[in-house]
A = this chain, B = another copy of it.
Amino acid sequence: MAVRSHLRIYLVFVLVLAAGLSIGTSALAETGPLPSWNDGPTKQAIVDFVQKTTDKSSPAFIPPAERIVTFDNDGTLWPSHPMYTQLAFALDRIKALAPKHPEWKTQQPFKAVLDNNMKALAAGGEKGLVELVMASHAGMSTAEFEKIVSDWFMTAKHPRFKRPYTKLAYQPMLELLSYLRANGFKTYIVSGGGIEFMRPMTEAVYGVPPEQVIGSSIETKYEMKDGKPMLMRLPKIHFIDDKAGKPVGINMFIGRRPVAAFGNSDGDRQMLEWTGAGNGARLMMLVFHDDAKREYAYGPANGLPDTKFGTFSQSLMDEAKKKGWIVISMKNDWKRIFAPEQ
């Protein structure tokens, strides 16, 4: 019995050791800076860029103060399908406000929202969308809007992945943000989305503080109410931070040209052009959604289906190739898309 008992202890010891080694090895394989990125030229390009620009003896060295990096949000840091997160918010908000607006039952584009009629909604075009945004995003103070947005993020879930939107940041991009910050880069979000829709969540989700978020905005007006100053949100567009607006927004808010820029669609083209036209080392990358199984697949570049939410045109793909912008294949370059569920 003593021998068998010793044998058992020995076997348990060996199994534990083996398990330990196996865990050790797999952990070891992921201790690099970008564990959710597959090894290959895409990951290597990022590592090479960071190494040469932070090495004082390299001719490509960039002083810390100039290490400005800009990231698009929708489709670059988190999904933009089946629709932009902010549009999902606007639709929920219209439904929540409907009891106070009986006229919406018969009035487009509101009727389409209340009927969940996406076809009628699409028929309203951009004009209809602007009406929805104004009805859902304006008419309150900035403090009230911040609370409305924060509350929505606490409960809203993505229709396919059944997780809060705030848990759907792309894991490889979170690692990239951390890796860049650990090397002295200042990470900015430069999105076509609403600046005050993003700010309540960017710090918690991406580690990006509000003062490093640039986005589209409506006008606000300073008012005194009962002796207390407020900023009231007006139903009037102030700035559209998309396409040619992105370099304008970057110049306005930061006053420096980025040294690296990350996007995923035709809306990011000018940001990458502007970044690439600077002197010295530059890194421009585009996330290409070619992974229908784990996320979504759309283009229309490379023959994938077209989309209203983050078009990646063939002409953008051609410009990327011509200018040496790196196209990230979600399918091939990323080990995983999202963090494992907690």
Q: Tell me the A residues contacting B by CB distance below 8 Å.
A: 65, 68, 142, 186, 195-196, 199, 209-211, 213, 217, 220-222, 224, 228-229, 231, 244-245, 247-248, 251-256, 270, 273-274, 277
Q: Are A211 and B254 in contact (CB under 8 A)?
A: yes
Chain B contacts of A211 at CB under 8 A? 68, 186, 253-256
A68 CA / B273 CA spacing, docked (Å): 33
A245 CA / B231 CA spacing, docked (Å): 10
Chain B contacts of A222 at CB under 8 A? 244-245, 247-248, 270, 274
Given A211-B254, A255-B199, A229:B65 Cβ within 8 A: no
What is the copy number of this chain in the assembly?
A: 2
A211 CA / B69 CA spacing, docked (Å): 13
Given A229-B273, A277-B229, A209:B65 Cβ within 8 A: yes
Chain B contacts of A255 at CB under 8 A? 195-196, 199, 210-211, 213
Which residue of B68, B186, B256, B274 is within 8 Å of A229 (Cβ)?
B274
Chain B contacts of A274 at CB under 8 A? 222, 229
A254 CB to closest chain B CB, in angstroms? 5
A153 CA / B65 CA spacing, docked (Å): 22
Which residue of B224, B231, B251, B273 is within 8 Å of A142 (Cβ)?
B251
Nearest residue, chain B, Cβ from A224: B273
Chain B contacts of A248 at CB under 8 A? 220-222, 231
User: What are 26 A-B pairs at a CB distance below 8 A?
Assistant: A65-B209, A68-B211, A142-B251, A186-B211, A195-B252, A195-B255, A196-B255, A199-B255, A210-B255, A211-B253, A211-B254, A211-B256, A213-B255, A220-B251, A221-B248, A222-B244, A222-B245, A222-B270, A222-B274, A228-B277, A229-B270, A229-B273, A229-B277, A231-B247, A231-B248, A231-B251
